[in-house]
């Protein structure tokens, strides 16, 4: 019997419980099988810069399991899985905008999926429109996303310093990079490659 044929991994049984997680390094301390994630047996989607998307299955008791290639039927479409995972995330996780002590903003969710907010253009469209500017964004850890108006260099530097500290303290690190969400182009880019 193939792994994806086992009741525990049948697509119809896991479809509603798959979520996208943003990663730069292939390790996760919250997932049951996340200590060492291999690109040889794990479906990954390249995202922006060095970031990639891995998929997790929510299990009972608030645990998560990294989705592996052998858990998916051979005819699986990764783009479709990505869209399903994002739909599940929108359905199950509420993202709220908060203020930071240095004058910037953050995304608050459930302490697990904050970095996954990078997947949602509509969040960044609304933020860019409200701020009237492109947005500089950092995701130093799985549970922290920071952003400021991109043209405010002082705030960008304060965010970068705060993000660096958060990255150093975090157990589930994501990235030290700064990204830009462009208001007009509506795309997420690496800070240095966007003209800033």
Residue 195 is predicted with a pLDDT of: 57
- Contact by Cβ (8 Å): 25, 140: no
Please list the residues that pair with 52 across neighbouring strands.
23, 46
Determine how many CB atoms are found less than 10 A away from the CB of residue 65. Answer: 19
| pLDDT computed for residue 76 by the predictor | 93
| Region class of 62: left (phi > 0), else alpha (psi between -120 and 50), else beta | left
**pTM greater than the 0.75 cutoff:** yes
DSSP 12-58: HHHGGGEEEEEESSS--SSBTT-SS--TTTS--EE-STT-EEEEEEE
Half-sphere exposure of 77 (CA within 13 A, CB side): 4
- pLDDT given at position 62: 87
- How far is Cα 168 from Cα 56, in angstroms, rounded to an integer? 24
- Position 119 scores a pLDDT of 97
pLDDT of residue 32: 83
How confident is the prediction along the chain (196 residues), in pLDDT tens digits per residue?
888 899 999 999 999 999 999 999 988 888 888 777 888 999 999 999 999 999 999 999 889 999 999 999 999 999 999 999 999 999 999 999 999 999 999 999 999 999 999 999 999 999 999 999 999 999 999 999 999 999 999 999 999 999 999 999 999 999 999 999 999 999 999 987 555 5
**Rg of the chain on CA atoms, in Å:** 17
Element (H, E) at 165: helix 153-169
């Amino acid at each position: 019997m193939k792994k994806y044929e086992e009741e525990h991994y049948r697509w119809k049984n896991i479809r509603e419980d798959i979520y996208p997680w943003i990663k730069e390094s292939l390790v996760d301390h919250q997932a049951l099988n996340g200590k060492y994630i291999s690109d040889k047996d794990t479906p990954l989607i390249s995202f922006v810069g060095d970031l990639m998307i891995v998929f997790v299955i929510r299990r009972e008791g608030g645990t998560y399991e990294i989705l592996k290639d052998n858990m998916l039927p051979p005819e699986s479409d990764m783009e479709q899985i990505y869209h399903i995972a994002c739909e599940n995330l929108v359905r199950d996780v509420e993202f709220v905008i908060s203020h930071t002590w240095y004058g910037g903003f953050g995304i608050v969710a459930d302490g697990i999926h904050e970095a996954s907010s990078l997947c949602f253009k509509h969040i960044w469209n609304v933020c860019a429109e409200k701020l009237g500017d492109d947005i500089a964004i950092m995701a130093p850890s799985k549970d922290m996303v920071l952003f400021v108006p991109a043209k405010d260099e002082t705030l960008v530097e304060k965010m970068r310093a705060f993000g660096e500290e958060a990255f150093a303290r975090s157990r589930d690190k994501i990235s030290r990079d700064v990204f830009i969400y462009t208001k007009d182009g509506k795309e997420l880019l690496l800070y240095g490659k966007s003209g800033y």
